[in-house]
């Protein structure tokens, strides 16, 4: 099987979107799941949330942010080139996938997407929209240049609300302030989903709890191996130890121990930075 890159585009600084030929994966993928990309035969296994899938075309879409050596190597690939492996779909689909369409139409969803989190939010919103479910979306980023999936999201949601930390576009403030503003203005939601930086999801969960709004979060950023074997994505949920890759990646936001999750997320940051420095140092000597 050739996992050929069909299209490649930089959609924001250091953020690349790729459509990859993977027919079997595209045929079985569901919202909320992820896949693992291996750049070459010696490459690291990199878990990435599925940003879209097209069974007819036999393609899946991934969004990769350059944050270290492995992701930089993936982003450096060109159209027409092939990855060594693309494995999936992995993880559990979003809970709503198993619910009846009649039950879902009685709900009103609000999705909260922070930064690159807009990419995995998109297929969930698209799936619900195709079934006639009411969905609003909040997208947040540090500035307008880092907003992604804004145009795509407008096509599949009822209302889109944009936030930037610096006020360069849309609402000047955090996504949590936007959520509170919408509720205070009389908008009523029955379910919330937050995907993005861990600290954003933590405060989204705290805000949702204060508003009496059930919320689901995705802990995809914790994953390393993606199969549960490495143990790097262990997290306490509802007082019990879970693995983000096999038990999730989505969990009840009220029950996640975010402080523990953030400590675990930073566990390998120093090693990754050191590897990156060594990598560039080798290039400099060549």
Please report, for the domain that includes residue 188, its CATH number: 3.40.50.80
Residue 80 has pLDDT above 70, yes or no: yes
Q: 271 in a domain, yes or no?
A: no
State how far the alpha carbon of 14 is from the alpha carbons of 66, 91, 101, in Å: 5, 26, 38
- Can you tell me the distance from the alpha carbon of 94 to that of 127, in angstroms, rounded to the nearest whole number? 10
Tens of pLDDT along 12-53?
A: 999 999 999 999 999 999 999 999 998 888 878 888 889 999
Q: Is residue 269 over pLDDT 60?
A: no
Residue 167 lies in a domain: yes
Q: Are residues 180 and 77 in the same domain?
A: no
Same domain for 105 and 204, yes or no, is yes
In a domain, 279, yes or no: no
Per residue in 78-114, is it b (16+ CB within 10 Å) or e — as a string?
eeeeebebbbbbbbbbbebeeeeeeebeeeebbbbbb
**% of residues, the chain, pLDDT over 90:** 68
Residue 143 belongs to a domain: yes
Q: Are 50 and 8 found together in one domain?
A: yes
- 177 and 223 both lie in a single domain: no
Tokens in use for 141? 């980023």
**Residue 237 domain-assigned (yes or no):** yes
Dihedrals phi, psi of 263, to nearest 5 degrees: -65, -40
What is the pLDDT at residue 227?
62
Dump pLDDT digits (tens) for 184-213. 999 999 999 999 999 999 999 999 999 999
Domain count, the chain: 3
CATH number at residue 84: 2.40.30.10
Task: Verify that 71 and 147 share a domain, yes or no.
Answer: no
Q: Which residue in the block uniquely carries the two structure tokens 């540090």?
A: 142
Q: Given pLDDT bands bounded at 50, 70 and 90, which one contains residue 4? A: very high
The reply to whether 286 falls in a domain is no
Residues 128 and 160 in one domain: yes
- Residue 93 predicted with pLDDT over 70: yes
Residue 190 and residue 225 in one domain: no
Same domain, 164 and 115: yes
The whole domain housing 233 covers 219-266
211 and 223 both lie in a single domain? no
Q: Do 225 and 200 share a structural domain? A: no
The dihedral over CA atoms of 112, 117, 120, 124, expressed in degrees to the nearest 10, equals: 0
- The pLDDT, as a whole number, for residue 122 is 96
- pLDDT tens digit sequence for 208-239: 999 999 999 998 877 766 666 666 778 888 89
Copy the structure tokens of residue 20: 């990859």
pLDDT higher than 80, residue 248: no
Q: Please give the average per-residue pLDDT across 45-62, as a whole number.
A: 93
The pTM of this model reads 0.87
């Amino acid at each position: 099987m050739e996992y050929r890159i069909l299209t490649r585009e930089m959609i924001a600084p250091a953020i690349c979107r790729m459509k990859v030929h993977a027919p079997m994966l595209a045929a079985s993928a569901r919202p909320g799941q992820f896949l693992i990309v291996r750049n070459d035969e010696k490459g690291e296994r990199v878990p990435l949330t599925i940003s879209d899938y097209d069974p007819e075309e036999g393609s899946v879409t991934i969004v990769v942010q350059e944050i270290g050596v492995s992701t930089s190597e993936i982003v450096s690939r060109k159209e027409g080139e092939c990855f060594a492996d693309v494995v999936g779909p992995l993880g559990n689909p979003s809970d709503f996938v198993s619910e009846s369409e009649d039950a879902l139409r009685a709900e009103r969803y609000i999705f909260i997407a922070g930064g690159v989190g807009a990419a995995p939010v998109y297929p969930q919103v698209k799936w619900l929209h195709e079934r006639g479910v009411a969905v609003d979306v909040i997208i947040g980023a540090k500035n307008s240049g880092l907003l992604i999936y804004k145009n795509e999201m407008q096509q599949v949601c009822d209302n889109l609300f944009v936030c930037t930390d610096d006020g360069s576009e849309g609402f000047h403030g955090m996504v949590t302030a936007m959520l509170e503003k919408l509720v205070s203005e009389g908008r009523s939601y029955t379910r919330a989903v937050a995907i993005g930086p861990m600290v954003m999801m933590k405060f989204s969960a705290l805000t949702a709890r204060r508003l009496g709004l059930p919320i689901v979060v995705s802990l995809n950023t914790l994953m390393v191996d993606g199969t549960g074997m490495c143990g790097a994505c262990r997290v306490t949920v509802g007082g019990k130890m879970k693995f983000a890759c096999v038990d999730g990646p989505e969990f009840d936001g009220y029950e996640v121990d975010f402080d523990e999750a953030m400590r675990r997320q930073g566990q390998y940051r120093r090693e990754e930075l050191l590897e990156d420095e060594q990598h560039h140092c080798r290039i400099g000597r060549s």
